[in-house]
């Protein structure tokens, strides 16, 4: 990233300098040449008028005209050749060709009335021809009597442009060094927070999770630090709940085993134990083993539900039938305590659900409604739906849940009244299994409860499974 940002700053800084300098030099060249052509054109025209008015083409011994010609040639460091309409050279400022004939295309064209200046860029000279005209007798047309050929060097223009180019190169090198130095340090400033971020992440990876990450300097780095700290907090919470879970599991699994050991030890320590006492203790031992096995089963259910959504076995299911079969299974338990178990369906519902997981979830709710109920109480299960969701309500006339406990009942191993719940065979895992199962269906679960009046759990699940 640092190399990239140096390259970008460097290019962005240098390319405009190079292109602007190059186009300035080009513009200067064009302007200077066209200005020189205009000047020469003007000088040439006034010279042509002078030659015509003095009759120079027939008599060239006019000192003022000759000195004028020499002056122009001198000022512009060029050569002037004057040709008459018979292509004879009347005057050559270099004195080389006088008296000779000049047969050149430009001269012939000019005599015919078409001439244009010519700039030879490679050999650095401007060549132009100017007709010497005089008006015909009736003043309507112009007769070309001769041609002034002017050849002028553009070397001084080239010299200036060369000088400019040299200055540009110096400017370019200076700017390149300055920009490079700037880019070098600026990229260091830009990448510094990233380096610190990497350092911070490495520090975390090494296990120093208690320290907060702080990479200030830029707004963006502040945002990154915040997100990182949030992630860290989440990880810490996860770790904390994992540790809590492990210690809870160990504790819960140990409790029935401790009871079994105490029961067995007390039998072993006594001599001649009555067979009835053996029996009584063994019944207790069997109960504790039963409890241990229930905890293990619940834990396994929970672990299964902790897996990803790809483990969902989704199928179109008749929810009325599903609830009926759960109720059928639980009816004998309700009957034992003379609890009335009613199912109320407002409409038939077919939804895309994992039948096993949903049955487990609802079954836990109804089981609790029976378990934490009063003798001769009631449990009402109802099913309703709209176009998007179906709703299952489990209401009971039971002991209710104290308000301060309602926030925790979905936590693993949480039980409002440990002693009572133990008596009813609770593990504290039922509601967290239910909640996980409902969440895997992208549903929601809520509880309304009043102590000594009853509890209502409402479950809302999408009819069409949302992957
Ligand atoms: P448990 O195995 O103890 O029933 P759950 O996770 O199913 O564990 O429930 C957690 C606690 O919430 C229970 O111990 C009980 O105190 C309370 N609870 C759950 N359902 C009801 C209910 N219908 N009425 C009263 N209390 C309830």
**Separation of alpha carbons 85 and 145, rounded Å:** 5
Average pLDDT of span 88-109: 86
Average pLDDT of span 49-62: 88
Q: In what order do the strands lie in the sheet with 78-84?
A: 89-92, 78-84, 142-153, 125-135, 118-120
Q: Find all residues with CB under 8 Å of 143, minimum gap 6, and list them.
A: 133, 134, 135, 136
Gap from CA of 431 to ligand 1 centroid (Å): 7
Average pLDDT of span 182-191: 86
The whole-model pTM stands at 0.56
Pocket lining for ligand 1, CB < 6 angstroms: 364, 368-369, 372, 396, 398-401, 409, 414-417, 421, 426-432, 455
430 compared with 244, residue with greater pLDDT: 430
User: Which residue in this structure is represented by tokens 């200005």?
Assistant: 35
Gap from CA of 365 to ligand 1 centroid (Å): 8
* % of the chain surpassing 90 pLDDT: 39
pLDDT of residue 401: 95
To the nearest 10°, report the CA torsion of 179, 180, 182, 187. 130
**Separation of alpha carbons 427 and 407, rounded Å:** 18
Which band of pLDDT confidence, cut at 50, 70 and 90, is reported for residue 415? confident
Gap from CA of 353 to ligand 1 centroid (Å): 25
**DSSP E strands, 106-263:** 118-120, 125-135, 142-153
Q: Angle formed by the axes of helices 275-305 and 430-440, to 10°?
A: 20
Which band of pLDDT confidence, cut at 50, 70 and 90, is reported for residue 128? confident
The two three-digit tokens of residue 387, written as one number: 């176009």
Mean pLDDT across the chain, nearest whole number?
Answer: 88
Question: What is the β-pairing status of strands 340-345 and 378-385?
Answer: parallel
Q: What are the structural domains, with CATH classification, of the chain?
A: 2-160 (3.30.450.20), 209-306 (1.10.287.130), 309-462 (3.30.565.10)
377, 395 contact by CB (below 8 A):
no
């Amino acid at each position: 990233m640092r190399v990239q940002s140096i390259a970008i700053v460097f290019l962005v800084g240098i390319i405009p300098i190079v292109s602007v300098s190059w186009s300035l030099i080009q513009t200067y060249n064009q302007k200077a040449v066209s200005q020189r052509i205009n000047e020469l054109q003007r000088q040439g025209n006034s010279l042509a008028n002078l030659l015509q008015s003095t009759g120079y083409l027939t008599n060239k011994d006019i000192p003022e005209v000759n000195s004028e010609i020499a002056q122009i040639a001198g000022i512009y460091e060029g050569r002037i050749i004057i040709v008459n309409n018979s292509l004879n050279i009347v005057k050559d400022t270099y004195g080389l060709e006088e008296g000779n004939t000049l047969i050149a295309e430009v001269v012939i064209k000019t005599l015919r009335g078409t001439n244009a200046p010519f700039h030879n860029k490679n050999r650095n000279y401007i060549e132009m021809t100017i007709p010497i005209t005089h008006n015909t007798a009736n003043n309507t047309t112009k007769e070309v009597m001769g041609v002034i050929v002017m050849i002028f060097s553009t070397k001084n223009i080239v010299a200036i442009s060369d000088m400019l180019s040299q200055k540009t190169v110096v400017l370019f090198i200076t700017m390149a060094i300055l920009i490079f130095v700037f880019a070098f340090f600026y990229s260091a400033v830009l990448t510094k927070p990233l380096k610190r971020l990497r350092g911070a992440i490495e520090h975390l990876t090494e296990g120093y999770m208690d320290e907060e990450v702080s990479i200030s300097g830029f707004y963006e780095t502040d945002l990154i630090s915040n997100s990182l700290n949030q992630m860290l907090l989440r990880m810490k919470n996860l770790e904390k709940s994992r540790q809590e879970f492990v210690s809870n599991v160990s504790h819960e699994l140990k409790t029935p085993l401790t009871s079994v050991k105490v029961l067995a030890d007390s039998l072993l320590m006594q001599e001649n134990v009555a067979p009835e006492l053996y029996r009584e203790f063994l019944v207790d031992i069997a109960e504790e083993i039963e409890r241990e096995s229930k905890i293990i089963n619940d834990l396994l259910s929970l672990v299964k539900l902790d897996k990803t959504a790809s483990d969902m076995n989704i199928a179109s299911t008749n929810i009325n039938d599903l609830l009926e079969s759960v109720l059928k299974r639980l009816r004998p338990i309700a009957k034992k305590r003379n609890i009335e178990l009613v199912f109320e369906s407002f409409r038939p519902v077919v939804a895309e659900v994992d039948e096993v997981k949903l049955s487990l979830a609802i079954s836990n709710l109804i089981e609790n409604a029976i378990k934490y109920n009063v003798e001769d109480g009631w449990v009402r299960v109802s099913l309703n739906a709209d176009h998007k969701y179906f709703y299952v309500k489990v209401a009971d006339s039971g002991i209710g849940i104290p308000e301060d406990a309602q926030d925790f009942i979905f936590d693993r191993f949480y039980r409002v009244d440990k002693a009572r719940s133990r008596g009813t065979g609770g593990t504290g895992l039922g509601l967290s299994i239910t909640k996980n199962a409902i969440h895997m269906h992208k549903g929601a679960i809520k509880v309304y409860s009043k102590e000594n009046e009853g509890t209502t759990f409402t479950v809302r699940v999408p009819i069409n499974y949302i992957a």
